[in-house]
Structure 1
Amino acid sequence: MIQVVVVDDHPVVRDGVVATISAAPDLEVIGQAASGPDAVRVVASSDPDVVVMDLRMPAGGGVEAVREMKSRGLRASVLVLTTYDTDSETVAAIEAGATGYLLKDSSASTLIEAIRSTAAGETVLSPAIATRLASHVHSPSRRATLSAREREVLLLVARGTPNRLIAKELFVSEATVKTHLTHIFDKLGVSDRAAAVATAYELGILG
Structure 2
Amino acid sequence: MKTRIVRVLVTDDHPIVLDGVTLALQNTPWLQVAGYARSGREAITAVERLKPDVVLLDLRLPDMLGPEVVQALRAQDSAVKIILFTAYPDHAALDAALAAGAHGAVVKDTERDDLVDAIRRVMAGERVLCINAAGSSGAALSRKLREHGLTRREYDILRRVAMGETNPEIAVALGLTRNTVKTYLQRTLEKLGARNRVEALSRASQLGIL
1:65-100 CA-to-partner distances (Å, cap 9, x unmatched) read 111112234311001111112101111110110011
What residue is the counterpart of 2:59 in the other structure? Answer: 55
| CA drift at 1:59 | 2.5
What residue is the counterpart of 2:101 in the other structure? Answer: 97
- Letter paired with 1:103: V
The alignment's TM-score, normalised by the length of structure 1, stands at 0.61
Q: Output aligned runs, 1:56-71, within 5 Å.
A: 56-71=60-75
Distance 1:13 1:44, change over 3 A: same
1:39 pairs with 37, 43, 60, which one? 43
| CA drift at 1:135 | 5.7
Equivalent residues of 1:102, 1:129 under 8 A apart? no
| CA drift at 1:129 | 4.6
- Letter paired with 1:54: D
Distance 1:54 1:67 in 2: 14
Equivalent residues of 2:39, 2:61 under 8 A apart? yes
Runs of 5+ consecutive residues of structure 2 not aligned to the other structure = 141-210
What residue is the counterpart of 2:22 in the other structure? Answer: 18
Equivalent residues of 2:11, 2:37 under 8 A apart? yes
- Letter paired with 1:76: V
Distance 1:68 1:6 in 2: 16
Distance 1:127 1:53 in 2: 14
Distance 1:130 1:113 in 2: 17
Q: Does 1:121 align with 2:125?
A: yes
The alignment's TM-score, normalised by the length of structure 2, stands at 0.60
Runs of 5+ consecutive residues of structure 1 not aligned to the other structure = 137-207
1:89-144 CA-to-partner distances (Å, cap 9, x unmatched) read 111110110011111111011001111111221111125453135669xxxxxxxx
* Cα RMSD after superposing both structures: 1.8
Equivalent residues of 2:85, 2:108 under 8 A apart? yes
- Letter paired with 1:91: D
Larger gyration radius, structure 1 or structure 2? 2
Distance 1:129 1:98 in 2: 17
- Letter paired with 1:23: N
Equivalent residues of 2:118, 2:130 under 8 A apart? no
Q: Count how many residue pairs are aligned between Structure 1 and Structure 2.
A: 136
- Letter paired with 2:128: V
Q: Output aligned runs, 1:74-93, within 5 Å.
A: 74-93=78-97
Distance 1:74 1:129, change over 3 A: farther
1:170-201 CA-to-partner distances (Å, cap 9, x unmatched) read xxxxxxxxxxxxxxxxxxxxxxxxxxxxxxxx
1:136-158 CA-to-partner distances (Å, cap 9, x unmatched) read 9xxxxxxxxxxxxxxxxxxxxxx
Distance 1:61 1:35 in 2: 10
Distance 1:129 1:120 in 2: 24
Equivalent residues of 1:3, 1:27 under 8 A apart? yes
What residue is the counterpart of 2:6 in the other structure? Answer: 2
